[in-house]
Amino acid sequence: MSAALTELVQSRLAAGAVRVPLLPQVAWKLLTLDEESDVRSFESLVYGDHALAAHVMRIANSVALAGRVPVLSLRQALVRLGVRMLREVAIVAAVADNVIRLPGYDAELRALWRHALRTALWTKVVAQVRGDDEERAFLSGLLVDVGRAVAFRMAVETALDQGRRIDAAVAFEAAESLTTLVGTVIVDAWELPEELRAVVSFAARPHAAGRYRDLVLVVGLGRWLAATEEEDRLRLDDHAALGVLGVSQADVRAIIRQSRRVDELLETFSL
């Protein structure tokens, strides 16, 4: 059944008959606004989106990010988060609002969504230790796995359109086959940079990614860390990408020490 469902979703995607999550105008503007812009520019954008403003206030006051004094205004929240984390919050909120709620399948979608978030957070940690662009790493890690959640939803909705309610296992199997395709469709629909398309397209074969190889390998490390239990993360020493990326044993220890921080941020971002 899943093979026929996969083909049907593929044909509907080609025909434009299924929708991908839209990137709200506010999120798109935040991604493209110069980091050196006055805080008032960011404040006016966020203020115009009540749902995003609520997410920003909640996250700024979360256990993971809260300071000694509670944040009471949107401007204070923006200062605490900073421009880069604000962009991350905007993307997370935009995708989550479009993906994780579907009656009868909420638990499965939320699990897929949390895994995508976990991958994004671990990818950011690896990038931080290497001195890479952390914002790019977070978005890359999110996009490489969020396609699976969107594909799962598409499979369920396509079956429902055909008058059938499918078991979650069937939707999972279809989603596994569709992850890369759906991920590239999302990147194209959002008009994101070429490097992000490469991350999604070459996730399974990083050495074919050309000049984006290292970014794809960093995301691969993030995915491995996200899928590995804490007690098994010491096996990161054996990961084939470490030598290629120049990640030292000291770097590995620094990455693994972030486990608790990643867990805190995962709870913070899990809307």
Phi-psi region of 88 (alpha: psi -120 to 50; beta: other; left: phi over 0): alpha
pLDDT tens-place string over residues 203-233: 999 999 999 999 999 999 999 999 988 778 8
pLDDT tens-place string over residues 124-162: 999 999 999 998 999 999 999 889 999 999 999 999 988
Dist. CA 80–CA 60, nearest whole Å: 7
Helices (H) and strands (E) in the chain, counts: 13, 0
Give Cα separations from 103 to 99, 108, 156, 157 (angstroms). Answer: 12, 11, 11, 11
C-alpha closest to that of 192 among 13, 35, 21: 21
pTM attached to this predicted model: 0.88
Q: What is the CA radius of gyration of the chain?
A: 19
Which of 220-239 are b and which e, b meaning 16 or more Cβ less than 10 Å from the residue's Cβ?
bbbbbbbeeeeeebeebeeb
Dist. CA 109–CA 111, nearest whole Å: 5
Alpha-helix residue ranges (DSSP H) falling in 202-240: 213-227
* CATH number, domain with residue 105: 1.10.3210.10
Structurally, the chain folds into a number of domains equal to: 1
Domain that holds residue 171: 2-269
